[in-house]
Structure 1
Amino acid sequence: MTAAIAGVALGRIALPTGAELEVATGGDPSNPAIIFLHGFPESHRTWRRILPDLARDHYVVAPDQRGFGGSSKPQDVADYSIDKILADLIALADALGIGTFTLVGHDWGGAVAWTAALARPDRVARLVILNAPHPLVFQRSLIDDAAQREASQYIRIFRTPGIESQFERAGIGTFFDRVFAAHADPETIGDERQVYLDQWSQPGALTAMLNWYRASQIVVPAIGAEAERPDWIDRPFPVLRMPVLVIWALGDRALLPCQIQGLPPLVEDLGVITVQGGHFVPWERPDAVIEALRDWLGS
């Protein structure tokens, strides 16, 4: 049985987008709202050590995004286009009566958060990113930075048709150890391993999660390949005007520090805090994340 998160309730919300999301909520709905978006291959459990603290004086909302955890898992790649995932976010906020909100995203959740801030600044009042690349910086680095291109070759693997069958034949436990545990401090995982194995063993779960990569329009050239530059990466790009905090764990082997070096021209009100740890910083450094969030929210 999944351990409960103190002060947080879990429910299921059917959205007009067609998705049904399992959603963790906590705190007083009259308080300022913070929506937390997890990444691959996770669920709302990403935030289990962070939500109780923020729920003391905020209304916290952490969905399992479509394809993950307890939420619906459509099997078509097209169901994971960024416009559909963004529509889920806005529909969820509407369903909960939330107008504007602070948006916090890690990994793929951070990619959605960057997009939401760019597309819906009328709803996203403040943005917090944890080890998730800005779309322009990321695409440029995949073309121009050999180290980041090499570190991102796993995306090409995840897009391979039928790769989930290979993961299933090797065993879901092996998938956990190679894809998740290899990038996280094992001391922080504990009993959560079985939680994720149960989630990933659901019918269609691996396909749904991997379809996030397949639906993405980001171009990942092969190592050493001559890469054609998408024309949009050299054109003027919108600048974010809302306050943005980036919390970056420097031990991330998948997303390198070049992802934060290119941010200043793209964010008018930018704060960057670097911490020690790997890619799964909400797991490894929850106290550092809480401290950074509280200092920034208080300011």
Structure 2
Amino acid sequence: MTFDSTTPVTVGDLTFDARFAGPQDGDPVLLLHGFPETSLSWTQVAPRLADAGLRVVAFDQRGYSPGARPQGVDSYATELLAGDVFGVADALGIDTFHLVGHDWGSAVAWLAAGTRPERVRSLTAVSVPHLTAYNDALRNDPEQAEKASYISVFRQPGVAEDLLLADGARRLTAIYGDAVPTALAVRYVAHLGEPGALTAALSWYRAMGAGLGSVPRTAVPTTFVWGALDQAIGRVPAEACGDFVDADYRFVELADIGHWVPEQAPDALADAVLERVRR
């Protein structure tokens, strides 16, 4: 089975589409994608991790998997999204694991690591820093407030869907810029164009509070990877991230890289993950 194909993983009433790579007996690493992407965002990272002997698991998260697309904004609270991580791990017989998340996947990973550190062996957060650092910057840093202005649009039911899917999903496609390979962008857009998919994905934004949510300080060994040209996350919260990690911490800044790190800098990201796992 290739990483391009999916296998169903059932967690309670939900069924997630998961991709696998690497040896079954390798140290497990769970990869969480962001918006507007799917688990395919790890296409260029997963083989590097698998070649290093890791058991790679990447799944389409709640709302992205057709079998895990419940109705109602309340079904997309960040605590439920973090719970899905452990639910998938349990379904696969995985006790402890390394965790990697990008964008919204990073937000979920911070909460998972913060609330259940006994199960997360290491954390590699990509693009989105610790949520306390992010929320502080959202309130106090004009640059971050400007970079986050799109969120208010995404939180408007119906308005965001119409805006992003109009004209053949021109605006949705434009979000990726030149950083995401065209073949991947086409598949993301097609996936989110399925009935109910975009609304479910946007429900993550609609379920959040004034910021991306609150999480405890993190006691898990952590690496934070940030592209210096990130369109959504500014330097202030990126540099403050480590203030909320009570464990070994590494900040990896990627010059000339924007928000789409898994697609734009897969080798550098894989190196950061492997360095963290080996530590």
Deviation at 1:171?
A: 3.1
Which residue number in structure 2 is paired with residue 201 of structure 1? 193
Q: Tell me the amino acid that sits aligned with residue 74 of structure 1.
A: P
Corresponding residue for residue 250 of structure 2: 271
Change (3 A) 1:93 1:169: closer
Q: Tell me what 1:41 maps to.
A: 36
* Residue in structure 2 matched with residue 29 of structure 1 by the alignment: 24
Query: Is 1:244 aligned to residue 236 of structure 2?
Result: no
**In structure 2, which of residues 98, 107, 111 is the aligned counterpart of residue 111 of structure 1?**
107
4+ residue runs of structure 1 moved beyond 4 angstroms? none
Q: 1:213 — aligned with what?
A: 205
Q: Indicate the SS of the match to 1:132.
A: coil
Amino acid in structure 1 at the alignment position of 2:241:
L
Partner of 2:87: 91
**Alignment gaps of 5+ in structure 1:** 221-229
Conserved in 2, the CA contact under 8 Å of 1:5 and 1:48?
no
- TM-score when scaled to structure 1? 0.86
Which has the larger Rg?
Answer: 1
* TM-fit CA distance, 1:196: 1.7
Per-residue Cα deviation, 1:252-288 (whole angstroms, up to 9, x for no partner): 0111111222123311211011112110011000111
Length-normalised TM-score, structure 2: 0.92
Structure 1 66/98 Cα, relative in aligned 2: closer, same or farther at 3 Å?
A: same
Q: Does 1:145 align with 2:125?
A: no
- Matched AA of 1:242: V
Contact 1:19 1:88 in 2 (8 A): no
The residue matched to 2:80 in structure 1 has which SS? helix
Alignment partners' CA distance in 1, 2:211 and 2:128: 16
2:274 is the alignment partner of 1:297: no
Q: Does structure 1 conserve the Cα–Cα contact (< 8 Å) formed by 2:2 and 2:21? A: no
1:174 corresponds to: 170
Contact 2:41 2:184 in 1 (8 A): no
Given that 1:240 and 1:267 are in contact with CA atoms closer than 8 Å, whether structure 2 keeps it comes out as yes
Cα 1:99/1:34, change in 2 over 3 Å: same
| 8 Å CA contact retained: 2:221, 2:249 | yes
Residues in 1 aligned to 2:140 and 2:230: alpha-carbon distance in whole angstroms: 19
Give 1:53's aligned residue: 48
- How much does 1:291 deviate? 1.8
| One-letter amino acid of the counterpart of residue 259, structure 1 | P
Q: 2:119 aligns with which of 123, 127, 142?
A: 123
Does the 8 Å CA contact 1:64/1:71 hold for their aligned counterparts?
Answer: no
Partner of 1:224: none
> Which amino acid in the other structure matches residue 195 of structure 2?
P
Percent identical pairs in the alignment equals 32
Partner SS, residue 40 of structure 1: coil
SS, match of residue 255 in structure 1: coil
Counterpart CA distance in 2 for 1:266 and 1:111 is 14
Provide the rounded CA distance (Å) in 2 between the counterparts of 1:171 and 1:211.
22
**More displaced, 84-93 or 66-75?**
66-75
Segments of 5+ residues of structure 2 without an aligned counterpart are: none
Residue identity matched to 1:215: A
Residue 280 (1) aligns with residue 260 (2): yes
SS at match of 2:194: coil
Aligned match of 1:258 in 233, 236, 253?
236
1:3-31, CA deviations, whole angstroms, 9 ceiling, x for partnerless residues? Answer: x955x652011211x22110001222221
* Count of residues in correspondence between the two structures: 276
| Separation in 2, partners of 1:115, 1:155 | 20
